[in-house]
Amino acid sequence: MGKFRIGYVGFVPHPNFLETCAKDPALEVVHIPLEFSTGEAVQALSSCHGYYVMAARDEVPVPLHVHAELLGKLPNLLMAASYGAGYDTCSPEDCTEAGVLLINQAGGNAQGVAEHAVGMMLACLKRMPEAHAAMIAGTARNRATLLGRELRGRVVGLIGCGNVGARVTEIVKLAFGCRVIVCDPFLDAATIARSGAEKVAMAELLAQADVVSVHCPLTAATRGMINAAAFAAMKPGAVFVTTARGSIHDEVALLEALNSGQVASAGLDVWEVEPPPVDHPLLHHRAVIASQHTAGVTQESRANITKIAALAFSDVAAGRMPPRIVNPEVKARFGERYEAAFGVGLRQ
């Protein structure tokens, strides 16, 4: 059996990926510079069995996103792995159609993202962005005009409760005694209860939550889900936080909700365009704390996600099905293609 070739474009999130791959003699890693033309990059990828692909859609050129057009040019590709939990640059449906296994690194950066989300909740409730803006503008006078609120005892509403949401639940319950309510169509009430939260409908969550925090993937169903109607349905003076994906919330609608006071403050780690343009009104709003999709960008999280990605490639190279499969319906077809490529069958 020959080596399992893995291509990546530009950079890897942490040296741990290359170091872990180097320990497996069955793997060969191919670096494709960002400076390559699309044609050159596709040519380099065409000999690869695996594609380690950036998860943030604005970091890798669109022609190198894992969609039908690219997949049609990569007949040897068996597996794509995103850099993180998200997979905006990959189409699960197109991968399945092509017989390509798609995996992510769900849970690998959960601690980093959860800490970031809770940090933004605290900053917004204590009105830190407004205080910062006032001091910069030279208008800071009476501290009572920045009267804040404490997180302790608040109702925290989570839209999505996977690995990150479960960790956020644990933090705010244990440290702050919060009641946590969750809207997640993929989890039943018993599963959510085991994490210490309560399953509710979206309408109930928006009406009751003092803090609304988004932790779901960007899909056709969630794109634009937090729109003007959703902001209007929130408890007046709610705090809105998102460390999930841009495009789930409507940025224009959020700006209007902030300006009207319907939403008191917002913590935004994700944007429609990343990074947002320097003149973006939300970036300059006094009640917004912003970051550049860095919730999971910690040394610990990146070391972890890159290691588990490398180990997933090692699993496949050794004939084992890896964990964290996004499109499990492709398994049978993927197994057939794997056997045709390497002459041995996969073990489940």
**Token pair for 152:** 């302790």
Q: What's the CATH superfamily of 110-290? A: NAD(P)-binding Rossmann-like Domain (3.40.50.720)
- pTM here is 0.89
Q: Which residues contact 99 (CB under 8 A, 6 or more apart)?
A: 78, 330, 333, 334, 336, 337
274 as an active site residue: the answer is yes
Among 57, 249, 293, 337, the one annotated catalytic: 293
For 259, the enclosing helix (H) or strand (E) is: helix 251-260
Angle at 290 between CA 135 and CA 195, to 5 degrees: 120
CATH 3.40.50.720 domain position(s) in the chain:
4-108+299-342, 110-290
Which residue of the set 67, 274, 286, 324 is catalytic? 274
- Beta carbons within 8 Å of 2's beta carbon, 6+ residues apart: 342
What is the C-alpha to C-alpha distance for residues 51 and 166, in angstroms, rounded to an integer? Answer: 30
Q: For residues 262-275, b (16+ Cβ closer than 10 Å) or e, as one string?
A: bbbbbbbbbbbeee
Write the CB contacts of 259 (distance below 8 Å, at least 6 apart in sequence): none
Q: How far apart are CA 3 and CA 26, in angstroms?
A: 5
Instruction: Check residue 224 and give its pLDDT.
Output: 96
CATH H superfamily, domain 4-108+299-342: NAD(P)-binding Rossmann-like Domain (3.40.50.720)
pLDDT of residue 47: 94
Measure the CA–CA gap between 125 and 238, rounded to whole angstroms.
9
Residue of 49, 154, 167, 245 marked active site: 245
5 assigned to active site: no
Q: What is the pLDDT of residue 229?
A: 98
Task: Tell me the average confidence (pLDDT) per consecutive run of 10 residues in the chain, 348 residues long.
Answer: 90 96 97 95 96 87 95 97 90 96 93 97 97 94 94 98 96 98 96 95 98 94 97 98 96 98 98 95 97 95 95 96 96 95 83
State residue 201's pLDDT score. Answer: 97
Q: Cα–Cα distance between 317 and 310 in angstroms, integer?
A: 11
Closest CA to 186 of 212, 217, 207: 217
Retrieve residue 282's tokens.
């939300």
Determine contact, residues 163/107, Cβ cutoff 8 Å: yes
Residue 92 main-chain phi, psi, to 5 deg: -60, -40
| CB atoms near residue 188 (< 10 Å) | 10
pLDDT tens by residue, 37-54:
999 999 999 999 999 999
CA distance 99 to 117: 36
Choose among 291, 298, 253, 297: nearest CA to 271.
291
Annotation says 245 is catalytic: yes
Q: What are the two backbone dihedrals, phi and then psi, of residue 174, each rounded to the nearest 5 degrees?
A: -75, -40
* Alpha carbon separation from 19 to 9, 214, 316, 335 (Å, rounded): 17, 34, 18, 28
- The amino acid sitting at 74 is L
pLDDT value of residue 348: 63
CA distance linking residue 63 with residue 81, whole number of Å: 17
What string of DSSP letters covers 181-236? EEE-TTS-HHHHHHTT-EE--HHHHHHH-SEEEE-----TTTTT-B-HHHHHHSPT
Question: Which residues are registered as beta bridge partners of 212?
Answer: 157, 240
Burial class (CB in 10 A: 0-12, 13-18, 19+), 117: buried
